[in-house]
Amino acid sequence: MTSIGVFALQGDVREHLQALTRLGVDAFGVRRPEELDRCDGLILPGGESTTMYKLARTFDLLEPLRKRVHEGMPTFGTCAGMIMLADRIRDGIEGQETVGGLDITVRRNAFGRQVDSFETELDFAGLEDSVHAVFIRAPWVEEAGDDVEVLARVHGGEADGRIVAVRQRNIMATSFHPEVSGDDRLHRRFVEITAQS
């Protein structure tokens, strides 16, 4: 059985675990390096990216995370998780660190503050029906490397054309929160990526 961990020091842990459990995956929270060692794949959830990296460092998880991701462990970042996977950040706090591994530049809180949160439908590469996307203090991708596949963009409004979902090899990331919509298709895709790696 595929084992997928969810970074559990901060963020939307429970919702991701529920989605993975519905898909029949061995799903568990990751707080320590020995739990990370059990992972075939890992989800970095939405939350607060600055708190996440500080806690990861405090719990001696940041360097093991970097090592596993750079060695090719399938990883799925949502919202703050996308920021954690980005190689470059705009509007980060001074000294903010990431796990890295994804050749993108993200802008933190690009869509605005909590009051600017919104929901929309997105066309998502490889899916017939649109994805209902929930954006909460979300980042967007300002630059994507040549090896990065763009999976979804926002349509309409001031953010028209902004990149909000990407994949590079075994790493997938979204600006939005697929774990809160009840639609498990993106988690299913990540489970497939993990099973094939």
What is the C-alpha to C-alpha distance for residues 102 and 100, in angstroms, rounded to an integer? 6
Reported confidence tier of residue 182, pLDDT bands at 50, 70, 90: confident
Concatenate the DSSP letters of all residues of 41-79 into one string: EEEE-SS-HHHHHHHHHHTT-HHHHHHHHHTT--EEEET
Segment 40-50, tens digit of pLDDT: 999 999 988 88
The answer on pLDDT for 113 being more than 80 is no
Q: Which of 48, 177, 187, 192 is catalytic?
A: 177
Phi-psi region of 47 (alpha: psi -120 to 50; beta: other; left: phi over 0): left
Choice among 79, 94, 187, 192 that is catalytic: 79
Q: List 6's β-bridge partners, or say none.
A: 29, 43
The phi and psi torsions of 42 (rounded to 5 degrees) equal: -145, 140
Q: How far apart are CA 135 and CA 148, in angstroms?
A: 22
Q: How far apart are CA 83 and CA 147, in angstroms?
A: 18
Position 115 scores a pLDDT of 52
pLDDT of the residue at 7: 97
- pTM to 2 decimals? 0.94
Reference 86, options 174, 190, 194, 162; nearest CA is 174
Write down the catalytic residue from 15, 16, 39, 179: 179
- Give the C-alpha separation, 13 to 141, whole Å: 23
For residue 177, indicate whether it is catalytic: yes
Portion of the chain with pLDDT greater than 90, in percent: 74
More confident residue, 38 or 94: 38
| pLDDT tens figures, 145-175 | 999 999 999 987 777 889 999 999 999 999 9
d(CA 4, CA 26): 6
When the pLDDT of each residue in the chain is averaged and rounded to a whole number, the result is: 92
Confidence check: pLDDT of 185 > 70: yes
For the purposes of burial, counting CB atoms within 10 Å of the CB of 107, is it exposed (0-12), middle (13-18) or buried (19 or more)?
buried
pLDDT above 60 (res 144): yes
CB atoms inside a 10 Å sphere around CB 160 = 9
* Residue 79 falls in the annotated catalytic set: yes
DSSP 95-128: T------EEEEEETTTT-SGGG-EEEEE--TT-S
Q: Which domains occur in the chain, in start order?
A: 3-196 (3.40.50.880)
